Amino acid sequence: MYFRIFQIFVVLTLGGLLSCGSVNSSEVVEVPADTLEPAETSVNPASLRMAVFAGGCFWGVEAVFEHVRGVASVRSGYAGGPAESASYEKVGEGTTGHAESVEISFDPDKVSYEQLLDVFFKVAHNPTELDRQGPDVGPQYRSAIFYLDDSQMKAAKTYIEALDAAKLYKDPIVTQVVPLEKFYVAEKYHQDYLRRNPKDPYIVYHDLPKLESLRKQFPKVYVKRY
């Protein structure tokens, strides 16, 4: 029992100290890729649509949407900045204008854009934190919706207005709703990070609880992938 308490103490302590990407990629112990199940195998590629969200560290946001039924794939990356290139090192300086983001490929016949918004606001991140999420601080961790067309823009703004009217949050929602200019795919070691590194202290403390929250709040769209 005492050992278990010590383990919890260590996880909580590290969870407060570590930040997204603070793990050296050369030291990551990964689950072999060929043991990982694909996010979705029963969707029609011709019917897929895209959504791009930013909500803090992309590790957890990516993992949440990988567990949503109807999502075919999720890629971590960078969006929202004027610079013509992006990398973790550059974006991490907070000077490029980019935000850590996820690109979601989904089948609208199985999950709607509005349902993705619901998961984004209620599970994937805290939309009231300005230029930060938990221990991760800076404009690269801001809350943002990068819309691809007018329908997504209207859906996002309507959803935020409804949340404000319902007073779901104590503090104001600070999520940006802006057009997507360019999405840059993040480095390979950031992709499927939670799948490959489920025991990483940052993941254990900050991101695994999001998956449990998704399962409890959205049982109809939740699907266990790994």
What is the DSSP secondary-structure string of 98-132? -EEEEEEEE-TTTS-HHHHHHHIIIII--TT-TTE
Taken in order 32, 33, 39, 43, the sign of the CA dihedral is: negative
HSE of 52 in the Cβ direction (CA atoms, 13 Å)?
Answer: 24
| Distance from C-alpha of 60 to C-alpha of 29, rounded to nearest angstrom | 18
Residue 115's nearest CA partner among 49, 28, 37 is: 49
Q: What are phi and psi of 58, to 5 degrees?
A: -70, -15
Active site residue 20: no
Kind and range of the H or E element at 176?
strand 176-179
- Catalytic residue chosen out of the listed positions 51, 54, 57, 86: 57
Strand pairing partners for 53? 102, 145
In the numeric block, the tokens 């918004």 are attached to 117
Known catalytic residues?
57
